[in-house]
Structure 1
Amino acid sequence: MSTPLRIVEPQHLTGAALLDAITGFVSRFIVFPNEHCAPMLALWYAHTHAAEHFYVTPRLVISSAEPGSGKTLVIEVGQYLVAKPEMVLNASTPAVFRMVANNGPISLLWDEVDAIFTSNGGTNEDLRAMLNAGYKRTASVARCVGDSHSVQRFPVYSPVALVGLAGGMPPTITTRAITIHMRRKKRTEKAEEFRERVVQRDAEPLRDGLSEWIGSVAESVGEAEPTMPPGVANRSREIWEPLLAIADAAGGHWPTTARKACAHFVQEAEQVPVTTGVRLLADLRTIFTDRNTDRLATVDILAALADLDEAPWGDINGPGRPIDARRLARELALYRVAPGPIRIGGQITKGYVTQPTKNQEGLADAWSRYLSDDQNSDNEGDSWEH
């Protein structure tokens, strides 16, 4: 067991040393699935102390396939390291709005958040809107308040960590987030038991040191435009920019460590289709590629989809009810792809093509827009989010 870290004079530590200490601290209590998680968390915790200086605050999603995987520990430990922590379990919509509006950017640490997104009721729509929009500094939500129903705009920008079971959060959140998929630790993997008094005591000098150091570099990191790893652009660039800016300000090994973590999490996110439609496009590309053809009849596509190992299409309409022509057409219509008459072996039948024709759009355009170059359905079945 590692010796608890003590920091008597946190102001004497460099940024790199503070981030090292926080990485080691969280690793005392949590067994992570890979070596990139703890450094990323150290940077995310750090960015909450300068959130008002960034245009974007990346959502942090902590998920797992099963309970008991250590998800909640990430925010239980993190509450003693972030700025203005607010642990949330079942808060009302007005309460959350006012917490953020009255206290500026706060660190919302939200447990069991999957219940918000899986609920069929309409009472959670305002919370969804806040979580979706509030990752940008300029975001606000307009509401009618009081007897006069006057319009009031509530600022909703705040760092947010969301804890829940895998598959419980929509793409509108996950595409704005850095996601750790936690796993239950093996019997051979050991971690120090979480004791609140111990964590609070040992974290206090770390948070004080972090707050002081971040305060000294906040304006410069807020204006920084850090270099991204190859292939990191658009939304991924946007959510990683604050963390890489902090890593560059810390110096030492942190610019390299942070970019390795960035490349890992971005690549991991791109390997997992986040919607039914993207999964369907990926599986169709596999089928067309394996058969080395530019056209297939609908009946042959349906049979091939149903036969794919570890794919959902054999039961997509219920147990024993595979995908049918109507469901296939409805899903692909979202990507401006439609079936049409095609000629195969001298016979006219209804089907799909890869390249556009006079009568129909081809699949290749949708593939180029929504799939990465190496995205394939062969290894995506276990991690597909329904």
Structure 2
Amino acid sequence: MSTPLRLVEPQHLTGAALLDAVTTFLSRFIVFPNQHCAPAIALWFAHTHAAAHFYVTPRLVISSAEPGSGKTLVIEVGQYLVGKPEMVFNASTSAVFRMVASHGPITLLWDEVDAIFTSNGGTNEDLRAMLNAGYKRTAHVARCVGDSHSVQRFPVYSPVALVGLAGAMPATITTRAITVHMRRKKRTEKAEEFRERIVQRDAEPLREALSNWIGGIAETIGEAEPTMPDGVANRSREIWEPLLAIADAAGGHWPQTARQACAYFVQQAELQPVTTGVRLLSDLRTIFAERDTDRISTVDILADLVALDEAPWGDVNGGRPLDARRLARELSQYQVTPAAFRIGGQITKGYVTYSTKDQVGLTDAWSRYLPTENDDTDNETDVEGESWEH
């Protein structure tokens, strides 16, 4: 496929037109699952050129259910657009943080990271700690060096894109990330074949223009406090603040496009339970809503949980289904404990939605740990002084 005629050289483009050009360039080689992906990735690539000016650098996670979905292609193209790229394959944690410490914020493009987190029982605590800590500019990792074993603090702040199969990334990383779930393209969907020489040649003027533009506004966007879409707060705000600051500086349609992408990805993240406990709370909310009651016995809860389609509760104890002891242990993290109540004239034990002065109900936990969508927290009942046997 021939290269499109370039009517205006990238260095003469406005910020909005330059981001448009990056988005179009990405879409030449990659078929994205929806319209929000390419703009979000273009903004993330742009932010790498000013990472030193931001307090937070969001992780970019590129995942898919199956190989061959274009995950690696995102960073193969991206290495020619980001600031100070470093493609990483199976590097040791010590080697990576020494690279970062020696060269300042570099852009780590880490392929097949799922193999790291699913090997050795799924644990690689040093790497996980480095990726978690390096999300913020003030982060350092302390190590003993030399024969004297003196303690040296290595800065680990750097932009990181992580590529791997879905489900392999630890929750401590995904909660600091914008996650793009790639899909295999349909036979009817076409994209230009990736050829490194062509990509490098065509990306070079874009990357240079992007670096010059971002470099000229780096201090301004680093101090910006962009307005967030409704419902975007706390860590989600941290993640998106650098990207929205760039979009606002670009102007044109980009402030709106970026906020639409932000709202989409934040909502998608909220719909994905990130821990076993949150998944349990979510499934319990579904069960209580379906039964339309404020109390269910433990026996019935366990039966309903195991019966849920695509739920993990039928195999959580070495091939055995969830039992009352494990259920109580999981819910105790949220101060929710079993209650005694009457059903059909019989006293039984189970779980309730309402709270009393002595007991925390499930609604309290739902309102704190689950997305507010479809969560009727206004109906929570605090029953002062009520006996559990009613």
Report the TM-score range of the alignment, normalised by the length of the smaller protein. over 0.9
1:302-317 alignment, distance < 5 Å: 302-317=302-317
User: Does the alignment pair 1:86 with 2:107?
Assistant: no
5 Å-filtered alignment, 1:71-220, equals 71-120=71-120, 124-220=124-220
Please tell me whether residue 239 in structure 1 is matched to residue 225 in structure 2. Answer: no
Which amino acid is the alignment partner of residue 39 of structure 1?
A: P
1:347 and 2:346 are equivalent in the alignment: yes
- What aligned pairs does 1:359-370 form with structure 2 within 5 A after superposition? 360-370=359-369
What TM-score do you get using the length of structure 2 for normalisation?
A: 0.92
Instruction: Give the TM-score normalised by structure 1.
Output: 0.93
Supply the distance in 2 between the matched residues of 1:93 and 1:300 (Cα, whole angstroms). 47
- Seen in structure 2, the aligned counterparts of structure 1 residues 75 and 150 have a Cα distance that, compared at 3 Å, is same
How big is the shift at 1:295?
1.3
Cross-structure match for 2:355: 356
Q: Give 1:118's aligned amino acid.
A: T
Q: Which moved more, 1:367-376 or 1:60-69?
A: 367-376
Deviation of the 1:2 alpha carbon: 7.5
CA contact (8 A) 1:80 1:200 kept: yes
Q: Aligned pair in 2 of structure 1 residues 273, 5: CA closer, same or farther (>3 Å)?
A: farther
Equivalent residue of 1:337, what SS?
coil
CA 1:122–1:40 in 2, change beyond 3 Å: closer, same or farther? closer
Q: Is the 8 A contact 2:116 2:122 kept in 1?
A: no
Aligned-partner residue type, residue 350 of structure 2: G
Which residue identity lines up with residue 195 of structure 1 in the other structure? R
Q: Which amino acid in structure 2 is aligned with residue 225 of structure 1? A: E
Cα RMSD (Å) of the superposition? Answer: 1.7
* Partner of residue 32, structure 1: 32
1:121 CA displacement: 6.5
Distance 2:106 2:244 in 1: 21
Query: How many residues in Structure 1 have an aligned counterpart in Structure 2?
Result: 375
In structure 1, the partner of 2:50 is 50
Code of the residue aligned with 1:194 in structure 2: it is F
Retained in 2: the 8 A contact 1:6–1:202?
no
Match in the other structure for 1:329: 328
SS class of match (1:99): helix
- Report if the CA contact (8 A) 2:11-2:205 is conserved: no
CA, structure 1 residues 356+2, in 2 after alignment: closer, same or farther (shift >3 Å)? farther
Contact 1:14/1:250 (8 A) holds in 2: yes
* Per-residue Cα deviation, 1:226-282 (whole angstroms, up to 9, x for no partner): 011111111111100000000010111111111111111111111111111111111
For the residue of structure 2 that corresponds to 1:81, the secondary structure is coil
- Does residue 250 (structure 1) correspond to residue 214 (structure 2)? The answer is no
**In structure 2, C-alpha distance between the alignment counterparts of 1:332 and 1:2, rounded to whole Å:** 59
Q: 2:254 and 2:277 mapped to 1: Cα distance?
A: 38
Structure 2 unaligned regions, length at least 5: 376-390
